[in-house]
Amino acid sequence: MLSLRLLPKNSVSVALSVLVCGLAADARETVDLTGKWTFSFGNEASQKVDVPHTWNAEDGVAGPKSGKGSALSAQSSSYKRGVGTYERELPVKPGKDKRYFVRFDGASIVTDVAVNGKPVGRHEGAFGAFCFEITDALKDSGNTITVKTDNTFNKNILPLAGDFTMFGGLYRPVTLIETEQTCIAPDYYASPGVLISQDKVTPQSASVTVNTLVSSGKEASGKTEVKVDIRDAKGKVVATGSGGVSAGTDGPGRAEVKLNIARPVLWQGRSNPYLYKVTARTLVDGKETDRVEQPLGLRTIGIDPKKGFLLNGKPMQIKGVCRHQDMEGKGWALSKADEEKDMKMILDMGADGLRTAHYPQSGHIYDICDKSGVIVWSEVSAVERVYDNPAFKDNMKQQATEMLLQHGNHPSICMWGIFNEIYHQCGSDMKGVDMEGTLKELKQHIKSLDVSRPVVGATNQQGRRSLNEIPDYLAANMYPGWYGGGPDGMKGSVEGYVKAYPDKGIAVSEYGHGADIAVHEEQVKQPAPFSRHHPEEWQSYGHERNYNAIRQRPEVWGSFIWNMFDFGSSERSEGAKPGINDKGLVTYDRQTPKDAYFFYKANWNPEPMAYITSRRFTERKATETTVKVYTNCDSVTLYVNGKQVGKAAKPDDLCIVKWDKVQLKPGENTVKVVSNRKGKRVSDSCTWNVRS
């Protein structure tokens, strides 16, 4: 249960509220501060920009200065890291008796905010939202907000390392909020101010506790109470309750309301992502002053080392992907439409799990997962190393608190991740640092806020027992077929972990292979990972072999492909383009799903499909070739240059059909496959040129 504990409100690093939808028009107003910003990096000339914005969209993926090496560290960067200053006028004429807040959904890495030159708050950490009250800093008119964001590496702020670019700037939306004197706190760790815990969920009934955080301004007066109702998906009220507000020791007051729902419809992942809606309202002397709505998906979650992941008691092996939050030409500064496009590609492929590696992502991503039934692993950005000093630990706990309070209502989130590859690339500089002690504290901190979700970790240290014992359940990053050993090594790697940790459960938190869509090979051979030669054919073959081993072990509670999309990694120099990690199933510009994408689509998505692999291998030398098709149809017929080749063929149990020794003619060849499933005709075709 998300058991709310009011933490001391820290004026330096407080955060803000989450989704404020459907508010009473006269109670709370929100304005997106999208346009009209002036921006300058360091002493450079200023320019007009819109927010979300980053200054690293291009240089963040330009690759290392030296042009060689692949150190997995975003610390020694060749891209611009420093202070960017944003400024704009605030569209506000302060009303008497009103309060004003400014909310940032995310800014990288350290942010200082001033209104009319008066500091209103500082936030440390690139992935959490934060919200400051600015009422006292406002004038009657002509109000200016100045925001300085600094993405310089900072050893007291997570993450300390990682194979990804730390894009700088106001990269998520900024919102101005106007409230009445008594409101649902928008500024308590930027949580929605309404914190839901699912106390007991069975098919017969569900009991839920809703804690509403109530903030009263200086001028507030009157008797305050909170009313909560829960509506089903059709809008029918299925439970109501109300409660008085007890004063908070520090920070907002709190109203606890317990509710019961008879015979609830459960949130059952992609097969039935059923959502209720919780509405909490503050009333002063009977008059509504504020309202916040939150999603409620009733479900139980568990991991069984023998049965896998359990959703409402039903075992499943999560078919997941990992995602970084950047895109070509935009870095981290994505629009909602960009995020929707990413999630659509994930859903179309048939995945039912998402690991937000290596940090919490935007509220919008979790919203989409709630609505579409995707199981989410959301993680704290403890990548490769953590320190054990108080300043670092404070920041770690603050970032964890933000993740839990901001996103804890999302039913899609089914586990909290506390580390990725700790000890990786740690040399003598980390000698004597009690990294495991720090992670134990992190786990304890998370448990003090939420006992309803398992804590997991992604290891790559099979031998480090004590590290791997820290999370409730374990997962491991495994790269057979890429960083070492052949792709069939997945079987042994999985078995090794299962045997070593029989009570911990095992998931494959990462597996993958690089692929450049312009590089092709007739005979697949394992490439050198840090080379420029990353043939697309090897990636798909590696996934076929890896996934075959994973699916044969149903006790493996999930697998998460590394990665759904190519992503920016300033220190990499390999594959087609320096600065890019090309293990995505989809290219960085999102224009091209690679062959391996369709391997999963054939295996995971129920819609009939057939896809000819190596379709981009258009310029060939050999007249004899193998044609490989991924399909979920019962049988497929191949035509080359209009002539049927052999008989209709059936795919194997990995949805693969292969025709060997297919003859092509010199010059242009049309290759086509046709199939039927459930009366639906499916076909695919491509053109290959043979030039000897």
Show which residues are catalytic.
421
> Would you give the DSSP letter of residue 265?
P
Nearer residue to ligand GCB within complex by CB, 146 or 460: 460
Who's near 327: CB < 8 A, 6+ residues apart?
334, 338, 342, 565, 588, 589, 590
Q: Please name which of 28, 22, 17 lies closest in space to residue 409, comparing C-alpha atoms.
A: 17
Residue 571 in contact with ligand GCB, rule: CB under 6 A: no
In the bound state with ligand GCB, the residue whose beta carbon lies nearer, of 379 and 450, is: 379
Q: In what order do the strands lie in the sheet with 47-49?
A: 47-49, 37-41, 83-89, 144-150, 110-115, 118-124
Residue nearest to ligand GCB (CB): 163
User: Which positions from 97 through 136 interact with ligand GCB, judged by CB under 6 A?
Assistant: none
How much is the CA Rg of the chain, to the nearest whole Å? 26
Query: Is position 420 an interface residue for ligand GCB (rule: CB under 6 A)?
Result: yes
603/242 Cα distance (integer angstroms):
48
By beta-carbon proximity to ligand GCB, the closer residue of 370 and 510 is 510
Q: CB atoms < 10 A from the CB of 260, how many? A: 15
Residue closer to ligand GCB by CB (options 162, 593) is: 162
* C-alpha to C-alpha distance for 521 and 536, rounded to whole angstroms: 8
* Nearest-approach distance from CB 577 to ligand GCB, in angstroms: 15
CB of 410 within 8 A of CB of 377? no
Q: Is 566 in the site for ligand GCB (CB under 6 A)?
A: no
Sheet holding 314-316, edge to edge: 301-304, 308-311, 314-316
Please provide the DSSP assignment of 426-493 as one string. --GGGTT--HHHHHHHHHHHHHHHBSSS-EEEEE--TT-HHHHTSSSEEEEE--BTTTBS-TTHHHHH
Other CB atoms within a 10 A radius of the CB of residue 493 amount to: 22
CA 352 to chain centre: 13
Cβ-based nearer residue to ligand GCB, 311 or 580 = 580
Question: Whole-angstrom Cα distance, residue 274 to residue 464?
Answer: 41
- The interface with ligand GCB within residues 579-618 (CB under 6 A) comprises 581, 583
Name the residue nearer to ligand GCB (CB basis): 347 or 508. 508
Binding mask 241-270 for ligand GCB (x = CB under 6 A): ------------------------------
| Residue window 454-473: x/- pattern of binding to ligand GCB, with contact defined by CB under 6 A | ------x-------------
562 binds ligand GCB (CB under 6 A): yes
Size of the site for ligand GCB (CB under 6 A): 10
Task: Tell me the one-letter amino acid at 659.
Answer: W
**Which residue number, 401 or 460, has a Cβ lying nearer to ligand GCB?**
460
Query: Considering the rule CB under 6 A, would residue 477 count as an interface residue with ligand GCB?
Result: yes
Look at the block and give the residue holding tokens 């209709």: 648
Q: How far apart are CB 507 and ligand GCB at their closest, in Å?
A: 14
Contact 421, 460 (CB under 8 A): yes
Decide whether 151 or 477 has the Cβ nearer to ligand GCB.
477
86 vs 559: CA distance, rounded Å: 41
Window 498-537: residues binding ligand GCB (CB under 6 A): 510
DSSP string, 367-404: HHHHHHT-EEEEE---BS----SHHHHHHHHHHHHHHH
Our finding on whether 163 is near ligand GCB (CB under 6 A) is yes
Beta carbon of residue 515, minimum distance to ligand GCB (angstroms, whole number):
12
Site residues, ligand GCB (CB under 6 A): 162-163, 420-421, 460, 477, 510, 562, 581, 583
